[in-house]
A and B are shown apart, each in its own frame.
Chain A
Amino acid sequence: MTTVLQCHELGRYYGQVVGLNELTTELGSGIIGLVGPNGAGKSTLLRLIVGEIRPSRGWLKVLGEVPFGNRELYRRLGFCPQQDALYEDMTGYDVVRLLLRLGGYSPRESKERAERALERLSLTGRMHSRVSTYSKGMRQRVRIAQAIAHDPQFLVLDEPMTGLDPLGRREVLELLRALGASGTHVLFSSHILYEVEHLTAEIVLIHRGRLLAKGALPEVRALLSKHPRRVELGARRARDLARALIGCEEVVSVRVSSTIESEDRLSIETRAVGPFFQRLNAIAAAERFGISAVRSADASLEAVFDYLIA
């Protein structure tokens, strides 16, 4: 398993504002999701990885090399920045071609690669019109296109899905999955969990500049085994169901919350999930509570996220 990224006590400060705080980790190949709330240090880490800024302390190696100002490494790196910034008066095609030319490709090869990359992002139709006329989704795709045009070994994307409407999001997810499958290492950051959830095998959780957890979702879950698992129930007679459930010794706590959905919701915490479900099925079979939802909240990132941040 080639290590794509190693960093040791990596820190970066902007004046007293901490961007990243002593991060020591190692990332392997495949698609990796970098997750954390706004301002957790995701962008700082990504910009350190692509060598746009220097670490304030500690060190990091990308594909075995120190990234800052490392021109050779940039041939193998693709970076899609977070900010929605492009050369407004150039056409999408010209932008990608110029960046390829600067990447060291001949005019002819730059032309071909630019067309291929834009085609992959289904931009062929509008690639010769000016970027200022593009919609948010199309601008996002140009930014991704310039990152993949030179077939980088390691692709880094900062919040690639923000501001896209549902269609655009699905397309970008498909593309990233395809790239991952074709062997490119992909590291992308996001704070929209359901995007990360069904795309990545591995996640890295950072918060307030610190590494909180790393690994596959179930692994991360197991890592936090000391936290009891949570099951969320939705029922018409939620309180009666709660009264019935509080009796079972597998249940650690029951919380009733009337959320924005119409029905009340129960949030159960239990140490042993298997026995709990057996008990739940028995109770539900015995009496009609109008149960409309049973969801083991932990499977989704949102729960893991809430646990770690709360």
Chain B
Amino acid sequence: MSEAIIVLDGLEKRYGSIRALEGLTLELPPGPTGLLGPNGAGKSTLIKLLLGQLEPSGGRARIAGFDPTQRAQRLALRRKVGYMPESDCLIPRMNGVEIVTALGRLTGMTARDAMTRAHEVLDYVELEEARYRGLDEYSTGMKQRLKLAQALVHDPELLLLDEPTNGLDPKGRKHMLELVHDLGHAQGKSLLLCSHLLPDVERTCEHIVMIDKGRIRSEGSIEELTRSEANWVEVEVEGDLAAFQARLGTEGYELEATGPQRLRVKVMEPDGDRLFELAGSCGAIVSELSIERSSLEDVFLETLARTEVPAT
């Protein structure tokens, strides 16, 4: 893979006495990465730096091949970065197509390119006829997809998505997650996803970077962070529960009851096949099975707790 799209080396940012970012050293791996952290951890400052809107107070960085310490490069790098803001943002009195086209042209596209490209990205996010209507008729889901479309209009290498699934209903959320997943995996875009909804991060990203108080707390692939050595498997059993428990006991499985007809069993293999065999042998039926992976949420709270920072 070519050189990582974001390389930070001791990046710092101070607002007067407040140290917003204290020496971030990070190499963004390809594919989608989750940026996690409680409110006020420095996430928005980092995003502004990656967008070239702020000048770093210290350290070195290369963003999409540009050096953000020079003003001209800070402007040029925005051609390579697509930003989807968190809060509501629309250009007053314009409909969907006009907004995306206008922003396309502001990135240096000719009028014709901007128009055709606008329709392409609006097709991609599936905003069919809504693109011709004013934004007051847009649902939250449609507004989020329009924000994604405007971030894609100039086909950037790096995508910064700030809380893309915030406030969406299940259908909208599922749709947005598919888009993000498709962009990150199928299209091979480098993607930094900022979100409070950790299940969403878990479903779309491969790596996460956790930032708090302006410092990187932990970094790595979700697989590693959430894999527990042995797998705890939670099952719901119908039929002869006692016999099943006894059978597991004799086989030396560690287990504990977690509710009527529900058990938690410690298993060495990555799947539950063995349990089916044992259940079958003593007349019990497994009607529900799930491998308990410590969800990203627990990792998130654990990391924060470890550093005694009261989450807001």
Q: Contact residues of A with B, CB < 8 Å?
A: 37-39, 135, 137, 162-163, 165-167, 191-193, 235-236, 260-261, 273-274, 277-278, 281-282, 284-285, 288-296, 302, 305-306, 309
Contact in complex: A260, B273 (CB < 8 Å): no
Contact in complex: A292, B291 (CB < 8 Å): yes
Could you say which of B139, B272, B276, B297 contacts A166, with CB atoms under 8 Å apart?
B297
- Minimum C-beta distance from B238 to chain A (A): 7
Taking each of B277, B280, B287, B301, which has the highest tally of chain A beta carbons within 10 Å of its own beta carbon? B287
- B residues near A288, Cβ cutoff 8 Å: 271, 273
Q: Which residue of B lies closest to A299 (CB)?
A: B288
CA distance A192 to B140 in the complex (A): 14
Could you say which of A37, A135, A260, A273 contacts B169, with CB atoms under 8 Å apart?
A37
Identify 8 residue pairs between A and B in the complex whose beta-carbon atoms are under 8 Å apart, listed by A's number: A37-B170, A38-B140, A281-B276, A281-B279, A282-B280, A285-B280, A294-B272, A295-B289
B residues 132-182 near A (Cβ < 8 Å) are 139-141, 166-172, 177-178, 181
- A residues near B168, Cβ cutoff 8 Å: 38
- B residues near A274, Cβ cutoff 8 Å: 238
Taking each of A167, A193, A291, A296, which has the highest tally of chain B beta carbons within 10 Å of its own beta carbon? A291
Contact in complex: A309, B171 (CB < 8 Å): yes
- A residues near B178, Cβ cutoff 8 Å: 260
- A residues near B286, Cβ cutoff 8 Å: 277, 281, 284, 294
Contact in complex: A236, B271 (CB < 8 Å): yes
- B residues near A290, Cβ cutoff 8 Å: 270-271, 273
- Minimum C-beta distance from A171 to chain B (A): 12
B104 in contact (CB, < 8 A) = no
For the complex of A and B, the 8 pairs showing the least CB-CB separation, nearest first, are: A285-B280, A284-B276, A191-B169, A294-B289, A37-B169, A290-B271, A260-B181, A288-B273
Contact in complex: A166, B198 (CB < 8 Å): yes
Contact in complex: B38, A278 (CB < 8 Å): no
Is the contact region of chain A dominated by helix, strand, or loop, or is it mixed? mixed
CA distance A305 to B290 in the complex (A): 22
CA distance A102 to B140 in the complex (A): 34
B47 in contact (CB, < 8 A) = no
CA distance A260 to B205 in the complex (A): 10
Contact in complex: B203, A289 (CB < 8 Å): no
- B residues near A289, Cβ cutoff 8 Å: 273
B39 in contact (CB, < 8 A) = yes
CA distance A274 to B203 in the complex (A): 31
- Minimum C-beta distance from A236 to chain B (A): 7
**Binary per-residue interface labels of chain B (62-93) against chain A in the complex, 1 for a CB within 8 Å, 0 otherwise:** 00000000000000000000000000000000
**Binary per-residue interface labels of chain B (281-311) against chain A in the complex, 1 for a CB within 8 Å, 0 otherwise:** 1000111111100000100110000000001
- A residues near B198, Cβ cutoff 8 Å: 166
- A residues near B312, Cβ cutoff 8 Å: 135, 137, 165
CA distance A191 to B171 in the complex (A): 10
- B residues near A135, Cβ cutoff 8 Å: 39, 312
Contact in complex: A165, B311 (CB < 8 Å): yes
CA distance A292 to B285 in the complex (A): 16
Q: A37-B169, A137-B312, A166-B297 are in contact. Are A296 and B196 (CB under 8 A)?
A: no
B204 in contact (CB, < 8 A) = yes
Contact in complex: B169, A291 (CB < 8 Å): no
- Minimum C-beta distance from B210 to chain A (A): 14
Contact in complex: B272, A292 (CB < 8 Å): yes
Contact in complex: A281, B285 (CB < 8 Å): yes
- A residues near B273, Cβ cutoff 8 Å: 284, 288-291
Contact in complex: A277, B204 (CB < 8 Å): no
Q: A236-B271, A291-B272, A293-B290 are in contact. Are A281 and B171 (CB under 8 A)?
A: no
Q: A166-B196, A260-B181, A285-B276 are in contact. Are A291 and B171 (CB under 8 A)?
A: no
